[in-house]
Amino acid sequence: MNKTFFKQPFLIIVFGFFVLGNASRLPAFQTNEPASVVVGQACMIYNSVNQGGGPAANTLNYPYNALISNHRLLIADYYNHRVLIFNNLPNYNDASADIVLGQPDMTSNTLNQGGLPAANTLNYPRGVDEKGTKFFIADTENHRILIFNTLPLTNNSGADVVVGQPNMLTNTANSGGLDANRLDFPYSCCSDGTRLYIADFGNHRVLIFDTIPAVNNASADVVVGQPDMTSNLANNGGIGANTLNHPVAVHTDGTRLFIADRDNNRVLVFNNIPAVNNTSADVVAGQPDMTSNLANNGGISANTLYSPRSVYSDGTSLYIADRYNHRIVVFNTIPLVNNTSADSVIGQPDMTSRLANNGGIGANTLDSPRHASCQGTVLAVSDRANNRVLLYGQATATPTTPPTPIFSPAITPAIPPLFQVKPGLVRISRGESAKFLINLTQSNHVRLKIYNLNGKFFISLIDSYLTSGTHEFLWDGNNAGSGTYLARLECEGRQILKKVVLVR
């Protein structure tokens, strides 16, 4: 048996649900600020698809869009082919949604419910919005936008109006030919209560409807990114202030229009809502000028972007989901000139770091974030590759009825157990240590790390290649105070977690 000794305090292993404590609200979102609440996972260091099981009211599978609206949370749950609605903004981990759209119930996740598209089905939805009594879904791979004339109150509600298709039963890209009433992979939609805006990804354009469509198959009034309604070339005529290359998100604060221009690695700001085709943007973020489009132009910094996936403004600040830099960049004021630097970053320790889950998944890390939205003092971020939505600045509370966590099959030990901790109770005052046993059937790279309950990394016990057999690691808890910790083993493509209580 191989034995390695690490000085540190004592532990005990218990599985269960826990809730993060209250987070104090800072005047603005600060660099590397930790989230206070996680949705879709039991705690801040879990990231399994559907928590390792099937879909449920408290699970997610690659959430694409997370919108705070009227103190509710709306999530486009991409691979579960559904939209989840939380009637109240969650204030504890692992909360369950109240309403599901696109599926008959919370445990179903079949594409178009196993049949043809209909008014109540979804096919990889990427966007969601609501304004007044209207509710909108970007049903991306059905190549359409669904409009609900009243806010859905029950599961499996059907939409009233479809945009991009002649009826609710068709789903062909540019069905009938490219025009003002056709769509090709619409990634995002939003409304200011009067107009409807659509990021028509595959056609390299944004469509503007001067009034929200009331009947199927309505035509847009204005196109941005193309000279007319029948053109769809990327950067038509060469990159400029009036071109787009796979726009993935569109947003308005009621006065300005913002577009996340993904493959040009930039965000465009229009100081006024475009009223004519082919309007040029006024300001660009992420690039030094309107004709540049390199990813992290000259090296990652506070004024660069790499494949931005969303843009959102509350009318004062601007939030950009900077996907391949694994961060959200925050501008405290709307940029007025090109190449403005962000004021703070979420998901990274500084403006020049870009590792996914920098230092290990926790409350202050991100992996391929897709969307950010803000209301008041709370920011929601869809942390797509971690299968969760994070809430920053949300005051926390203990749920009246704590939800039952869903643990991944990877957390269920193999036989013989891959990962054990002995003894069950270790008393530091008696000189005892926690003993971690790792049983390998073949040689493998092993990582064993300790975190606190907020997901903050504490110590690494092993991060190296081990031969087959049983390996023993001791931790006597030196420099750690009494309390509960989480030991996470990464090995053989698994992620196994044990809750541990340290007693001095």
Return the pLDDT at 13.
36
- Cβ–Cβ under 8 Å, residues 205 and 223: yes
CB 92 within 8 A of CB 397: yes
Q: What is the pLDDT of residue 404?
A: 55
pLDDT for residue 374 is more than 50: yes
Q: Residue 21: what pLDDT?
A: 35
CATH topology for 2-12+408-502 is Immunoglobulin-like (2.60.40)
Predicted local distance difference test score (pLDDT) of residue 20: 33
**pLDDT of res. 439:** 80
Model pLDDT for residues 55-69, shown as the tens digit of each residue: 999 999 999 999 999
- Number of CB atoms found within 10 A of residue 147's CB: 22
**How much is the average pLDDT of 371-381?**
96
**Each residue's pLDDT tens digit, 74-132:** 999 999 999 999 999 999 999 999 999 999 999 999 999 999 999 999 999 999 999 99
Q: What is the CATH number of domain 63-357?
A: 2.120.10.30
Confidence band, pLDDT 50/70/90 cuts, at residue 425: low
DSSP annotation of 340 reads P
What's the confidence (pLDDT) of residue 136? Answer: 98
Domain limits, CATH 2.60.40.1930, in the chain = 2-12+408-502
167 or 403, higher pLDDT: 167
Query: pLDDT category, 6, cuts 50, 70, 90?
Result: very low
Task: Report pLDDT for 393.
Answer: 94
Residues of the chain with CATH 2.120.10.30: 63-357
Is the bond leading into 405 cis (omega within 30 degrees of zero)?
Answer: no
Length of the chain, please? 504
Q: Is 55 exposed, middle or buried (0-12, 13-18, 19+ CB in 10 A)?
A: buried
- In this model, does residue 294 exceed pLDDT 70? yes
Grade residue 4 by pLDDT with cuts at 50, 70 and 90. very low
Give residue 402's pLDDT. 60
- pLDDT greater than 90 at residue 293: yes
The yes-or-no verdict on residue 47 having pLDDT over 80 is yes
- The partner residues of 448 in beta bridges, in order of sequence, read 462, 489
